[in-house]
Amino acid sequence: MAFDELTVRADEATRRADEAYRQLERRYDDFLERERHKRVSRRRFSTLVDRIRTNGAPYGAHTIVYRPSGELLLVRHEGVDLWVLPGGGVDPDESFAQAARRELEEEAGVDVDYDGLAMISTVEIETQGYRTRGVLPIFAAQAESVEPDISDPDDEISAARWFSRLPDDTRDRDDLVAWRRQRL
């Protein structure tokens, strides 16, 4: 195996992700653990490695927002053309929880009470002989009957809606079903 610059960066990213996971594990308890595997292009791999090296998370932090009735809030992300959980990138001065709150405010504008960490997904990422991993922290928050109000500065979110039944085009559907099952 050749040890080139991308290998070194990928190894640094893996160490940073492991550190982020341990920090979350120490701070929170009783969360669901999930695994994901992604094969990406070499260019995308390099981008994700740099994100992970910064804070351990390739895709930022997200929130499962639910109502007492069991409905979940999803947002329509135009970049992936799917219904997704509100969430996104972590700024340099933010914790994962702070990023999840900020992203929820921007993408859906609902008032919630956070329960804590709902889930950590370990994301194994690979391309053409290179591998790394990152973490995806997903928090849980309860909202009352509040209608969403989008103020996304990135213009990626076109809609925000409550769902009692998840749409067929929901990203990470299996994770949400597993979380719902655990809560019942």
Report the CATH number that the domain containing residue 90 is assigned in CATH. 3.90.79.10
Tell me which residue of 61, 119, 52, 56 sits closest to 87, measured CA to CA.
61
Which residues form the domain of 70? 5-183
Region 5-12 average pLDDT: 95
Taking only the tens place, the pLDDT of each residue in 117-159 is: 999 999 999 999 999 999 999 999 999 767 888 887 888 899 9
Task: Determine what percent of the chain is predicted with pLDDT higher than 70.
Answer: 97
Torsion sign (Cα): 65, 180, 124, 170: negative
Number of compact structural domains in the chain? 1
For the chain, counts of helices (H) and of strands (E): 4, 8
Give the N- to C-terminal CA distance of the chain in Å, as an integer. Answer: 47
**Does the structure show a pLDDT above 90 at 42?**
yes
Query: 3: pLDDT confidence band, cut at 50, 70 and 90?
Result: low
Over residues 68-99, the pLDDT tens digits come to: 888 999 999 988 899 999 999 999 999 999 99
Strands 130-142 and 61-66: parallel
The amino acid sitting at 181 is R
pTM across the whole model: 0.92
Using a pLDDT cut of 90, give the percent of the chain over it: 79
Contact 135, 122 (CB under 8 A): yes
pLDDT in tens, 101-111: 999 999 999 98
